[in-house]
Structure 1
Amino acid sequence: MIEELQDVPAGVVGTRVSGRVTADDFRDFKPAMDRMLDAGEVRIIEVIGPDYEGFGPGGLLADVKQGFSTLTHMRAFKRTAVVTDKEWIGHTLHALAWMIPGEVALFGMDELDAAKQWAAG
């Protein structure tokens, strides 16, 4: 599941992923992604909680498709804050951060407020 967080600074879009993320979840999240891209400057907080289980049916393919659909907006991505206590997410992020446009930072679950400030900055 992908849900949009409401308690984030202006100009930042926050998401929380949980359970198994499916193609339907990405379809439902597309309007929020389009709003970010239309704003011209993308600042994201992605909270990956302890209940996150990975991709479900069609989720990985939908994630890749969504990523490719943003290629014309690469310069719009300013900051992405990933908030999680899952070690494997941190290792994966460090390995793949070079593929993510803009600045990327990893925060623990107890650092959500700091992640919000960093993403807004």
Structure 2
Amino acid sequence: MIEILKGFPSNVVAATASGEVSREDYEKILIPAVEAAMAGREKVRVYYELGPGFVKMAAGAAWDDLKLGIGHYFRWEAIAVVTDHDWIRHAVDVLRFVVPGQVRTFHMEQAGEAREWIMSELHKSTIRLS
């Protein structure tokens, strides 16, 4: 399940995932939130939290995620992924170099730092592995 988080600027799509993320979650929740954030903007930022309750992403959701990412490829300004799932952190760390925007991973205890970073004035010199 995906839930959109409140309290972020309108240029940030903030979401949390728990349980199994389905294609319907993408189609009814995440994609409309991304499209709304992109309306009238050149770039957007993403805060994505996958906590201990996250189990997996269904195949249809993974396909929608790929289509969403590629479909707006040059419009991602920054992406913060917050999780303690090592396999997700490793996948993001490997793929960060093909994303034109800044990408950082954070542990769950760093969620506050991740939120500050995604809402901050970003500088290219801040790119680092966490």
2:103 matched to 1:101? Answer: no
Q: Which has the higher contact order (CA 8 A, sep 6+)?
A: 1
2:3 matched to 1:3? Answer: yes
What fraction of aligned residue pairs are identical, expressed as a percent? 31
Gap runs ≥5 in structure 2: 121-130
The match for 2:61 among 53, 59, 62 is 59
Q: Following the alignment from structure 1 to structure 2, what is the Cα–Cα distance between the partners of residues 24 and 104?
A: 26
In the alignment, is the contact (CA less than 8 A) between 2:48 and 2:80 conserved in 1? yes
Q: Following the alignment from structure 1 to structure 2, what is the Cα–Cα distance between the partners of residues 10 and 66?
A: 18
Deviations 1:63-86 (A, max 9, x none): 222223213xx1x32111111111
Deviates more, 1:49-58 or 1:18-27: 49-58
Q: Cα 1:17–1:57, aligned 2, differ >3 Å: closer, same or farther?
A: same
Partner of 1:119: 118
Question: Residue type of the partner of 1:58?
Answer: G
Partner of 1:49: 51
In the alignment, is the contact (CA less than 8 A) between 1:4 and 1:13 conserved in 2? yes
Q: Following the alignment from structure 1 to structure 2, what is the Cα–Cα distance between the partners of residues 113 and 9?
A: 15
Gap runs ≥5 in structure 1: none
Question: With structure 1 as the length reference, what TM-score do the two structures score?
Answer: 0.86
Question: With structure 2 as the length reference, what TM-score do the two structures score?
Answer: 0.81
C-alpha RMSD of the superposition: 1.6
Deviations 1:78-116 (A, max 9, x none): 111111111111111111111223000111111111111
Partner of 1:30: 31
In the alignment, is the contact (CA less than 8 A) between 1:15 and 1:46 conserved in 2? yes
Question: Residue type of the partner of 2:62?
Answer: L
In the alignment, is the contact (CA less than 8 A) between 2:6 and 2:14 conserved in 1? yes
Partner of 1:85: 84
Q: Following the alignment from structure 1 to structure 2, what is the Cα–Cα distance between the partners of residues 37 and 9?
A: 12
3-state SS of 1:58 partner:
helix
Partner of 2:19: 19
